[in-house]
Amino acid sequence: MVQDIYPEPSNFISVYLRESAVSYYKRDKSRITRKYFMKQNILIVDDEKNTREGLKLILDNKNYNILIAEDGEKAKEILADENIDLVITDLKMPKVDGMELIDYIKTNSPDTETIMLTGHGTIETAVQAMKKGVFDYIIKPVNIDELNLLTERALMKKSMQEENENLKEQLNVKYGFENIIGNSSQMHEIFDKIKKVAPTKANVLIVGESGTGKELLAKAIHHHSPRKIKPFIPINCGALTPTLLESELFGYEKGAFTGAFKQKLGRFELANGGTIFLDEISEISPDLQVKLLRVLQEQTFERVGGTQTIKVDVRIISATNSDLKKLMEENRFREDLYYRLNVIQINVPPLRERIGDITLLITKFIEEFCKENNKPILSISPKAMALLQSYNWPGNVRELRNTIEGIVVMTTGKKILPEHLPSEITEHSKENVIKIKAGTPLKEAERELIRATLINAKGNRTKAANMLGLGRKTLYRKIEEYGLMTEKL
């Protein structure tokens, strides 16, 4: 059966690829070979010259690149130098036999598929090889049709797996990590930084306004790190009094204070081996800053009311919407603690500075809340979308998400229209409307639009460029061209 060539689909991408390829394969098997397997490399390994040359002759007219090796030792050399898609190897060979070669391939070239050639007396051994990951085996003398079919199947499997990985990588690049949505240059920079920092042990400080998704970024770092199998423990430092926060972070012993009827483990112990996320780190009291600094330096602490020193291995990701440098100048935040926390800093831009991401977020949230409320997926009118895009979203992604949830719940038709939007959004849009008379020369209209956008952005050219969907250099050139450099905005 054709379907036997595919592994079980793990997500919608592989389902799509599997169904498409099966259909395509049924229509024209030879086209599959041309489409997917052009220039794929096959290595034939056999100590018998006639067998090597015969297999090469059979496969040579299939648009494959055929390489040959007279034994496993030579095959290893070729595998070290070439990107091999499929190895067809004999089982019994001098020096390095087929089983040893299979072990080498699985260790050093795990993406390479393998087919074993075997005689009637060694079928049991070939079956054992399949348990090690060999795609299939062929009994000598080789049947030409069987060889062609298994070769196509093995290469099809490899090609599909590569396509699956490529598509998943493209989705990651385009839409980010987990529930982080963004295709703006700012978000791409953040995604790149996460990829680099996640595998390390470095502490990370995430800086950004409330509602920008700092905790989501912290989770993304954790889940893309070697610590992902261990706990991710978040705590909001601004939501607790200093005494309660100390108990939450470090735990306490029975009898440590009134109401401490039994021992309680703190967040640092619970996060051992994993990651602790300290949100609103700027709200930690001076006394607690000293204790936190010790954990950062020595990875040790004592529970409240206890004497036993506890050692942990915890990565700390912290976040703030405050200017910690300013707090340091005011002696409200320790300088040594700041530098311990701020090994790597990620700055999250507010939503108003990445206008291009708003459409992606709106689309995602509409789909999410329609499914949650058992409603058909609503469409949105261009005018309603434009109103949502023009709003400055002071509460950032959190505000946008809550707004879209309310809109989805209250919309009774099939389309979201301007009248379904909250009044603060529609009223805000009236303040940002410019009137350009029909027939106005294009350059004059563009000049007025740029001028109005700069006023709306309070002269911030980077923000204005994002709002207009222009590169900064392009905007600077147009500002100079239209004589807006010296004009009072």
Give the CATH number of the domain where residue 397 resides. Answer: 1.10.8.60
Q: What is the domain-level CATH number for residue 37?
A: 3.40.50.2300
Lowest-confidence pick of 63-67, 289-293, 445-449: 445-449
Tens-digit pLDDT profile for residues 145-190 = 888 889 988 888 888 877 767 665 554 544 446 568 888 888 889 9
Tally the domains of the chain.
Answer: 4
Structural domain contains residue 489: no
125 and 63 within one domain: yes
341 and 387 within one domain: no
192 and 62 within one domain: no
- The secondary element (H helix, E strand) that includes residue 277 is strand 275-279
Write down the mean pLDDT value for the chain: 83
How many residues does the structure list for the chain? 489
The Cα 434–Cα 440 span in angstroms is 13
114, 42, 119: which is closest to 83 by C-alpha? 42
Three-point CA angle 165, 170, 174, nearest 5°: 150
Residue 33 has pLDDT above 80, yes or no: no
Mean pLDDT of 192-208: 94
Q: Domain residues for 78?
A: 2-170
pLDDT of residue 36: 41
196 and 121 within one domain: no
The residue among 128 and 337 whose pLDDT is bigger is 337
pLDDT of residue 169: 58
Tens-digit pLDDT profile for residues 205-214 = 999 999 999 9
pLDDT of residue 170: 56
Which residue(s) pair with 234 in the sheet?
A: 277
Mean pLDDT of 245-255: 93
Structural domain contains residue 300: yes
477 and 425 within one domain: no
pTM of the full predicted structure? 0.56
Q: 218-248 burial by CB neighbour count: b if 16+ within 10 A, else e?
A: bbbbbbbbebeebebbbbebeebeeeebbbb
**Helices marked H in 60-209:** 72-81, 98-108, 123-131, 144-175, 185-197
362 and 262 within one domain: no
Task: Give the end of a domain, one of 296, 327, 347.
Answer: 347
Mean pLDDT of 236-261: 91
Residue 93 has pLDDT above 60, yes or no: yes
Residue 336 has pLDDT above 90, yes or no: yes
Name the pLDDT band for 21 (thresholds 50, 70, 90). Answer: very low
Tens-digit pLDDT profile for residues 310-334 = 999 999 999 999 999 999 999 999 9
